Every structure is written in C-alpha cells, then in structure tokens.
Amino acid sequence: MRGVIFDGERPRFVDDLEVRDPGAGEVLVAVAAAGLCHSDLAVVDGTIPHPLPVVLGHEGAGVVEAVGPGVAHVSPGDHVALSTLASCGACADCDRGRPAMCRAAFGRPGRPFRRNGEKLFHFAATSVFAERTVVKAVQAVRIPDDVPLVPAALLGCGVLTGVGAVLNRARVGQGESVLVIGAGGVGLNVLQGARIAGAAPIVAVDANPAKEKTARLLGATHFVHASAGRDVHASAGRDVLAAVREVLPAGADHAFECVGDVRLVRQAVDLLGRHGQAVLLGVPPLGAEASFPVSSLYLDKSILGCRYGSSRPQHDIALYARLYREGRLMLDELVGRIRPVEEFAQAMDDMNNHAVARGVLSFDR
C-alpha cells in the first residue's frame, strides 16, 4: 500500500507498505484524507525527536475497515476522524477527564507497519500518511456520513488544538479580548474558537499579509502585519507592540502564541492586560528557553502550556462535527490545496512556502 515514510535521510513516498490486522481494542482504518501539519515536518528537521523509520502523518479521517475484539463504538463502514491520543482510560489523568495528559500514551510508539521485512514506527499513534493504519479504538471518533472526509481530516489536530485551546484551556468568555500570534493552521483555529466563544476584539498577528483575508473570515476583527523582512517587532514600519496596543490599549485578556518562537512568547506576555493569560501552542526547538520580567506577572497574569487543546477527543470531535454541520465551525475554508499522496514533496513545499492554510493529502476514497 501507499504511504510516506521518513528513515532519517529524507521523507519519501513509497508503495510497498504493509500494516498488520487490528488486535484487541484496535481499529483498522482506510485513510481517505490527511492534513499536513508542521509537527510532521518537525520530525524531519529534528525538532521532534522520534525513533526511525517512521510512517508520518497524524491528522486524518477515513472509513473503518475492521475492528478487533472488544470494540463496540465503531463498526466497519463507519466514517471516523482520528485523534492522536492513544490514552489508556484508566490512569489518574484519564480518570480526571484529561486524556491529553495520559502517561501511558507518551513516548511509546508502536510498530504496526512493515516494509521489506523491516518494522516501521507509528507517528503520534496514527500514521495517517498511509492508505491504512491501525489505531486504538479510543482514537477513532465516529462522525456523521454527511461530513466530508477531506475537511473532517483537520478535526484531529489543528482544530482540536486551536479551538480546544480557546474553549478548554483558556476558557475564553464572551466579550473578552483575544490576541493570536501566528495565523497558521493552529492559529486560524484559535481565531475561530475565539469567534465561537464570543470574544471581542480578536486580533491576529502574522508576517504574511496574504493571510489577512482568511484570518478575518474565520474570526479576526483586526489584523496586524509583522513584516517577515524586518525585525520581528516591525509591522509595516510600526512596532507590533504599538500596533496591537492601538486596538487593545489595556492589553489582551488572552494571548495565544502559535508559532513556537521564544521571542514571540515574550511578545505574548508583554501584550497581556491585567489578569491576562498567555497560552503557548507553538513548538520551539527542544530545550529552547524564553525570558520575561517576573514582575510582569504580579498583576494576576498567567502563562499556560497547552497540549492538544486540552481536548477530550471523543467529546470534542463530535461537538466540532456538529458545529460544522450547523455552519458555526469552518473547515472547508481551511483546506488550501488537495494533493494525491504521491505528491507529498510538493505538499511539503506548499507548507514551507506558506502557500496554503492547510494542505491535504488524498487517498481518493
């Protein structure tokens, strides 16, 4: 079967992958579509250390082909969106409704794939850059058949992370102000999460002015251009801090850093208002450190980490699918370009060149 692997040299398309049958508590899914996320590229550039060789991809949707013993909530033929949380359901964090913190799901990738007799690792317990993948039953979330599988693929990472950060972690309230630094795949979903929450104003900051149209469509009431060709604080000849403060003179109630740049972490903290909170969603290189004046936090300000939107996928994906059907959550607008999986290299170039909001690989199902 077709797929995309990374063996330490370069990611590449192959057509001779094999995947084992599902075991107890597992589901075999025929992948229809998979979103291309920066986390996949972070494995390639070493930002995210991972054992190799690995089948890439972690944001996808498809159709259940088979289920193992003990699986009752999905059946062959069901449409599912996949989450990366292979949570155990029994540890203290799972018991508290925090599956994103499940210790049993951290750093234990399986090896359900084979190629030329060699076992290949799962990435993020999903590996959706393959025609078929095996996941734990808890990762397969049934969605209505009338939710198209291409936009549904985005539910499992970018939407869960961005919208979930707003609704679950920050718990943004109506009328509270939101600042989003970085209008990429996650940042755009933070914007629409803020819109769904009733926030106002909602300010997006990005180095690419071409992103303004989509940012405003999804929820931004204001857009500040941080020029990529100038210092990180430059904004069309003005300081970004000053430009944001023109809109938010008292500071932001919530600032979301969605790039993974420690300079922007500092910027998010500097732009908080009293009792404001900065939520860190971007992934900087391992070991990166950010600095800020400790005294700046004494006005009840907070800095929050957030993994995977603090989500409960079985609940949240079903909720977001319903919001999509009601027209309140935008998914089609996030899909920038659909390419067959054979064109993975071109899809990677699209992402690196910031040519699309979210590139999607298709398996033509």
Whether the per-residue pLDDT at 242 is higher than 80: the answer is yes
| Sign of the alpha-carbon dihedral angle for 199, 205, 206, 211 | positive
351-355 contacts at long range (C-beta below 8 A, 24 or more positions apart): 351/36, 351/38, 351/41, 352/41, 354/184, 354/208, 354/210, 354/211
Phi, psi of 190 (to 5 degrees): -65, -40
**Of the ranges 2-11, 47-56, 159-168, 230-239, the best mean pLDDT one:** 159-168
Residue in this structure with the two tokens 């659909």, named with its chain if needed? 338
Instruction: List the structure tokens of 257.
Output: 């850093």
Please state, in angstroms and rounded to a whole number, the distance separating the CA atoms of residues 9 and 228: 30
pLDDT tens figures, 33-42: 999 888 888 8
Whether the per-residue pLDDT at 122 is higher than 80: the answer is yes
State the pLDDT confidence band at 229, using cuts at 50, 70 and 90. Answer: very low
E strands, 167-227, where?
Answer: 178-181, 202-206, 222-225
pLDDT tens figures, 41-91: 888 887 788 899 999 999 999 999 999 999 999 999 999 999 999 999 899
- Mean per-residue pLDDT over the chain, rounded: 91
Mean pLDDT along residues 174-188: 96
State the pLDDT confidence band at 233, using cuts at 50, 70 and 90. Answer: very low
Strands 272-280 vs 302-305: parallel, antiparallel or unpaired = parallel
Whether the per-residue pLDDT at 237 is higher than 60: the answer is no
CA angle, 291 as apex, 287 and 295 as ends, to 5°?
Answer: 145
Please state, in angstroms and rounded to a whole number, the distance separating the CA atoms of residues 306 and 297: 19
Whether the per-residue pLDDT at 352 is higher than 90: the answer is no
Instruction: List the structure tokens of 267.
Output: 């910027």
Can you name the residues that pair with 35 across neighbouring β-strands?
A: 360
Phi, psi of 69 (to 5 degrees): -55, 140
> Is pTM beyond 0.95 here?
no
Please state, in angstroms and rounded to a whole number, the distance separating the CA atoms of residues 48 and 30: 27
Instruction: List the structure tokens of 98.
Output: 């925090």
Cis peptide before 201 (omega within 30 of 0): yes
Instruction: List the structure tokens of 204.
Output: 């997006």
Can you name the residues that pair with 123 across neighbouring β-strands?
A: none
Write the DSSP assignment of 21-90 as a string of letters.
Answer: PP-TTEEEEEEEEEE--HHHHHHHHTSS---SSEE----EEEEEEEE-TT--S--TT-EEEE-S----S-
Residue in this structure with the two tokens 């089948």, named with its chain if needed? 55
